Every structure is written in C-alpha cells, then in structure tokens.
Amino acid sequence: MRKVIVKCKVHDRDRLEKRLEDVGLEFSPVYWQHNRIYVPRGYKGRSNYPRLIMRTEMHAVDEPPVYTFSLRRHIEDSGVDIVEVTPVTDYEGMVNIILQLGFKQFGEVSRRRQELKISEHSIFYLDTLDDTNVTYAKLETILSEKDSPLNAKADLISTLRSFGETDVIERSYFEL
C-alpha cells in the first residue's frame, strides 16, 4: 500500500487534545509499541533502501502481545512510503530470517500511542517516545492510484497547522 506520512513535534499536548475535543474528535486509549528496525548492509538514510520492522504491540497487560513484520520503503522523489504489514506468530524465527537475509538491526523505538481515525484512509496518531518523553503528532493517509502524493502531503500539513502544529519533521523516529 502507498502512504503519505507527515509528523511534527507537539509542543503543548493538552492544547492539541483540547482543540481536537472541541471539534468532536477523541483519541483511543493509550497502547504500547516497540519497533526493532533492520536495514540492509550498506544502508544510507534518504536513499530509498527498504527497512524491515518487527513490531510488538500491547493494548492491555492482561492480553497477549501482537507481533507484526513490516516492509517499508520511503521513495524520496515522490514522498511516498510503500508499506506491507504481515502478522507474525514466531517472533524469534522471523528475526532469524531477517538476519539470514543480510539485514542488520539498526535501531529500536518504543512509544506510547493513541490513534484517531479521521476517515477510511487517514489516521491521526499521538506518539510519545519512551526514551525522550517527547510527543509527536503523526498523520498518515493511504493513497489511491490517482491521488497526488504532493497534494496529499500538503493536505496533511494543512490539517496539522489547523490544530496549531507547525514543527514538521521529515525523519523517522529512529533517526531522531
């Protein structure tokens, strides 16, 4: 699936949440995610290389974790992310496959996440990174074949600005 993703640092989380509540929008309960990011040998940022991500997600302490495997490629020329996600039942086995394919672990990101579904194809996330305790707003939209990535990105940035958020960040969390 093709996505456009825009994120920004949130300077006043309470103000942002209040603005969203004022227009009748409310985030989901907080859940926890931990990503291990794997890259091919010779990886260079901003070079269209694929990243493989093993994700652990926990929605409640009395429920088992959910594991997924993602293939992500950010195509710099267009600003589009190509994303494929697959559920995983054998986490360690999948990591061994990734390593045997020649990928190496590049980083880890743990976050507490809330989400708000804006439309069938767009989701608004609030992510608080565990290492820094900094909150980011992240908007994603799934593109159809006829959608313009540039227009979609401009719409997402405009949406963030309408809620007072202007500090757009072009890097992945693990690159921060």
Q: What is the CATH number of the domain that holds 25?
A: 2.40.320.10
- Our count of domains for the chain comes to 1
Predicted pLDDT at 30: 95
Average pLDDT per block of 10 residues along the chain, 176 residues long = 91 89 89 95 78 95 95 81 94 96 94 92 94 92 90 91 85 78
- Angle (CA) 49-53-56 rounded to 5° is 170
Predicted pLDDT at 99: 96
Predicted pLDDT at 46: 67
Asked if residues 4 and 79 have their Cβ atoms less than 8 Å apart, the reply is yes
Task: Give the structural domain span for 52.
Answer: 2-175
Predicted pLDDT at 35: 96
Cβ atoms within 10 Å, residue 89: 7
Measured CA to CA, the distance from residue 22 to residue 52 in angstroms comes to 38
Closest CA to 49 of 58, 40, 57, 38: 40
